Chains A and B, each alone.
Chain A
Amino acid sequence: DAGVIQSPRHEVTEMGQEVTLRCKPISGHNSLFWYRQTMMRGLELLIYFNNNVPIDDSGMPEDRFSAKMPNASFSTLKIQPSEPRDSAVYFCASRSGGQLYNEQFFGPGTRLTVL
């Protein structure tokens, strides 16, 4: 298996622009997670989906952030409009729901820089 795939790996954009991050989870995994990592705040859970349905989006910082999962093999995280404080590494992770102790598998991340 190719693991969790994220694109792009790096994104540089200007303040006010729309940014879309993409994630393909591991085939057969039914949970998907979006995290943000910064030096100041560490690793933060933004939102997670179970069977394509958003379960908990309490970590989404503000209305500028939105996430979708139209099918089991694809998810997007959109920031519109972007701001410099959104600069961070965004990780997608997926998990199989077979056992309670199943781990999350992380993608390589998207490094976002908003100028």
Chain B
Amino acid sequence: AQSVTQLGSHVSVSEGALVLLRCNYSSSVPPYLFWYVQYPNQGLQLLLKYTSAATLVKGINGFEAEFKKSETSFHLTKPSAHMSDAAEYFCAVSDITGNQFYFGTGTSLTVIP
């Protein structure tokens, strides 16, 4: 069965500091992994996805994530936080069909000026 665990439901960083949001997955097959962002009163928007083409994945808005099979992790990072990065972030893994997604519980990112 597939699942993801997001460590830390709330993360606060200072503007300009490194952003690190953690995601660990559990999958019985090679996983496809996704990070989504949700801004207030909006739907979820794809930040990036791991498709097995490369372990380091670059996404929109300067975010990137590294797939580490040995650690079953897919942590999201950004070198320098902007105020506009304040949002809810969700990690997800797809099932063997690629159809059903299993979402984490989300991490709320606060950026302190």
Interface residues of A (CB under 8 A from B): 4, 31, 33, 42-43, 45, 48, 50, 55-56, 91, 93, 95, 97, 99-109, 111
Residue of B44, B46, B51, B103 ringed by the most chain A CB atoms within 10 A: B44
Which one of B60-68, B77-85, B90-98 is at the interface? B90-98
Measured CB to CB, the nearest residue on chain B to A41 is B105
Q: Given A97-B99, A101-B51, 4 more contacts at CB 8 Å?
A: A91-B43, A101-B50, A101-B98, A109-B43
Interface residues of B (CB under 8 A from A): 32, 34, 36, 41-46, 49-52, 90, 94, 97-101, 103, 105-106
Q: Is the CB of A48 within 8 A of B103?
A: no
Q: Is the CB of B49 within 8 A of A103?
A: yes
Q: Is the CB of B99 within 8 A of A31?
A: yes
Q: How far is the CA of A91 from the CA of B99 in the complex (A)?
A: 16
Chain A residues, CB < 8 A from B49: 101, 103
Q: How far is the CA of A50 from the CA of B99 in the complex (A)?
A: 9
Q: How far is the CA of A48 from the CA of B94 in the complex (A)?
A: 14
Q: Is the CB of B94 within 8 A of A100?
A: yes
Q: Is the CB of A102 within 8 A of B98?
A: yes
Q: A101-B51, A109-B43 are in contact. Are A43 and B103 (CB under 8 A)?
A: yes
Q: How far is the CA of A100 from the CA of B49 in the complex (A)?
A: 12
Chain A residues, CB < 8 A from B98: 97, 99-102
Q: List 22 A-B contacts (CB under 8 A).
A: A4-B43, A31-B99, A42-B105, A43-B106, A45-B100, A48-B100, A50-B99, A55-B99, A91-B44, A93-B43, A93-B44, A99-B51, A100-B94, A100-B97, A101-B49, A101-B50, A101-B94, A101-B98, A103-B49, A106-B36, A106-B45, A108-B42
